[in-house]
Amino acid sequence: MQTKESKVILITGASSGIGEATARLLAGQGHHVVIGARRVDRLEAIASDLRATGSIVEYDSLDVTDLDDVRAFAGLAIQKFGRIDVWINNAGLMPLSPLDALKVDEWNRMIDVNIRGVLHGIAASLPIMKSQGYGQIINVSSIGGHTTFPTAAVYCATKYAVVAISEGLRQENHDIRVTVISPGVTTSELAGTITHEASADYMEEFRKIAIPAAAVARAISHAIDQPADVDVSEIIVRPTASSY
């Protein structure tokens, strides 16, 4: 059931975790949601669930490291709805390890997804929003974008970069709202990419205190709900009981 003005909202990394929770919340609020991720079977299941309740959802395979793929994802929204109101750069990886483990391939993959993926989302959506004269880009960073932890140097560097890119984007575009969402420990599959055994053990303990992905989705919804002349520049949302 529609409860507010419908917007066309695109979400990357939408097959699980924060992306899925956000898609479910926003679609339930009556927005037109376009979801993308590499796991198309998961997207199909989510879309089927939401369509069964009357929600308007489109989905497509999406690799955020491929600029052509990201532009095609934007094109799907234009083809179906004629505009893009909100773009949520949510896709991310977190294969933690100490630097001396020299997991260079994992460093590069984090840089590709967590930084280049955000830039690709901006490259695909910004020209459309500029031609419209309005829009909102929401970038999901992390508490790791504000502090650094052992085993997380590269991950935190990518999330610091998201904050810096977002602030530059905000300063350069007074007709586009730019929001950073920085979650603390959140229930998700993110830690499942850790291949360094000691780091995985550490994160299992670290992640015992966590908020549900739906809590982050509500923060995203709050930023979207503000009037056009109000930009929520950043929200940090984390467990009350957490020190981090």
- Per-residue pLDDT tens digits for 209-224: 789 999 999 999 999 9
- Name the residue among 3, 56, 64, 6 with its Cα closest to residue 34: 56
Q: How far apart are CA 239 and CA 242, in angstroms?
A: 5
- Per-residue pLDDT tens digits for 73-112: 999 999 999 999 999 999 999 899 999 999 999 999 999 9
Q: 8-237 has which CATH code? A: 3.40.50.720
Q: Name the pLDDT band for 3 (thresholds 50, 70, 90).
A: very low
CB 126 within 8 A of CB 165: no
Q: What are φ and ψ of residue 51, in 5° steps?
A: -65, -30
Helices (H), the chain: 17-28, 40-52, 67-81, 104-110, 117-132, 153-172, 197-206, 213-225
Distances (CA, A) of 186 to 7, 47, 107, 196, 212: 26, 23, 22, 20, 6
Q: How far apart are CA 229 and CA 118, in angstroms?
A: 24
Q: Which residue has the higher pLDDT, 198 or 25?
A: 25
User: What's the mean pLDDT in 49-53?
Assistant: 97
What residues act catalytically?
Answer: 155
pLDDT at 189 exceeding the cut of 70: no
- Name the residue among 152, 135, 136 with its Cα closest to residue 144: 152
The pLDDT of residue 121: 98
Q: Name the pLDDT band for 204 (thresholds 50, 70, 90).
A: low
Q: Evaluate the CA torsion angle 193, 198, 199, 204 in order and state its sign.
A: positive
Coil, strand or helix at 235: strand
pTM score? 0.92
Token pair in block for residue 224: 């979207």
Token pair in block for residue 189: 């599959």
pLDDT at 24 exceeding the cut of 50: yes
